[in-house]
Amino acid sequence: DPGIATYDPGFVNTSSCRSSITYIDGDKGILEYRGYPIEQLAEHSTFLEVAYLLLHGELPTQTQLDEWVHDVTYHTFLHENCKQFIEGFRYDAHPMVMLMASVSALSTFYPEAGDISDPEVRQAQITRLIAKIPTLGAFVFRHQQGKPYVYPDNRLSYTENFLAMLFRMSEPTYQADPRLVQALEVLFILHADHEQNCSTNAVRSVGSSQVDPYSAVAAGVGALYGPLHGGANEAVLRMLNRIKTTDNIPDFIDGVKAGKEKLMGFGHRVYKNYDPRAKIIKKACDDVFEVTGVNPLLKIAQELEKIALEDEYFVKRKLYPNVDFYSGLIYEALEFPPEMFTVLFAIGRTPGWLAQWSELVQDKEQKIARPKQIYTGERTRDFIPMSER
């Protein structure tokens, strides 16, 4: 349709935009961060090393990585007022809403953050956001659970520290099983970026107005919350719990075919073949279940996948498991409640959002977001007095 925007550098967020961060081939199931295949990064890298790669374009030297880890580690604390802000929410407020509001509120503690033309100011906010978002995620979880906050323990690694802030009670230190820490690291790596998905588009669109990065990332959190996007991992678990046993799968599949509901965790805007991340997560399930015992819902998920991969309805529509289909099973095995699953996705995606934001604000050719419109309404007509309506 000639009315639909084709590539135009003057219009951010229409049908395409320019980026050098993540490459996806949806037909071949390829995902690369700055040219490195996701399979190799998941196997050999750490989440903060991948965050450095996404932000700077190259894998760090040991000195660069040590400095980066040090900087992130020493910015994990929140201003004490953040606690009062979170305490203003009802106990049953959804963690994603509390996270979105808290990320936005962070900008009030760093008024200089709006000076995005200064590279040092940009880097300082990027470091703060990556460092503090796990603390915010843990604090909203503890608030929801009615438990006291656990402050960061900067002797721990990024992911160990997050788990300790979530689950530590009266023991002086929280010792997470290294296999579970590694599984969460891999999940964070797999979620770190995914080119121009809905929430990244929101970050770029809001960021194109030259607002501070906290406000842009808060917009990304809001988009990710939706059940068609990051909220799908929570929806998958609720779907599996609703199906309950493999005996109920045929009726459920009939309901999907009748258009009564979607098979959550299946399908993708870009991958019309298997999502490469789903393959890696499925393997991570085995590693986690060695520690926690097999999640009884795994059998239902595996049977659903088997049927969907053979059933004409799904094959014709190229519906394969995506990143959200198996991740929820791991999160549940790690004792996260379903409403925390998308918070975990947001923590993983934060480096990608910030890399994309940083790329956008430095690209002099990319202007403020203003997607083209195809007008389908009435054209010029005269006002009608009330007596004649």
Applying CB under 6 A, the residues found at the interface with ligand SDX are: 194, 197-198, 228-229, 232, 256, 262-270, 317, 319, 322-324
- Please report how close the Cβ of residue 209 comes to ligand SDX at its closest, in angstroms: 22
* 190, burial (CB in 10 Å: exposed 0-12, middle 13-18, buried 19+): buried
Classified as helix, coil or strand, 76 is coil
Q: Are 266 and 233 in contact (CB under 8 A)?
A: no
Q: Are 224 and 345 in contact (CB under 8 A)?
A: yes
Q: Are 69 and 159 in contact (CB under 8 A)?
A: no
User: Closest-CB residue for ligand SDX?
Assistant: 267
| CA 112 remoteness from chain centre | 26
Nearer to ligand SDX, 60 or 231 (CB): 231
Nearer to ligand SDX, 75 or 268 (CB): 268
Alpha-carbon gap, residue 282 to 374, rounded angstroms: 42
The label of the residue with tokens 């530590």 reads 168
Tokens of 218: 């808060």
Element of type H or E holding 236: helix 232-243
Please identify which of the residues 8, 268, 287, 363 carries the catalytic annotation: 268
User: Is 311 known to be catalytic?
Assistant: no
Alpha-carbon gap, residue 31 to 369, rounded angstroms: 26
Residue type, 155: R
Tokens of 112: 């200089």
User: Is 268 known to be catalytic?
Assistant: yes
β-pairing verdict for 36-37 and 30-33: antiparallel
Nearer to ligand SDX, 44 or 269 (CB): 269
Nearer to ligand SDX, 177 or 195 (CB): 195
Nearer to ligand SDX, 164 or 323 (CB): 323
Q: Give whole-number Cα distances, 369 to 9, 49, 81, in Å.
A: 10, 31, 33
Please identify which of the residues 193, 324, 363, 382 carries the catalytic annotation: 324
Other beta carbons within 10 angstroms of residue 260's beta carbon come to 9
- Please report how close the Cβ of residue 197 comes to ligand SDX at its closest, in angstroms: 3
Alpha-carbon gap, residue 173 to 316, rounded angstroms: 52
Nearer to ligand SDX, 198 or 309 (CB): 198
Name the residues annotated as catalytic: 268, 324
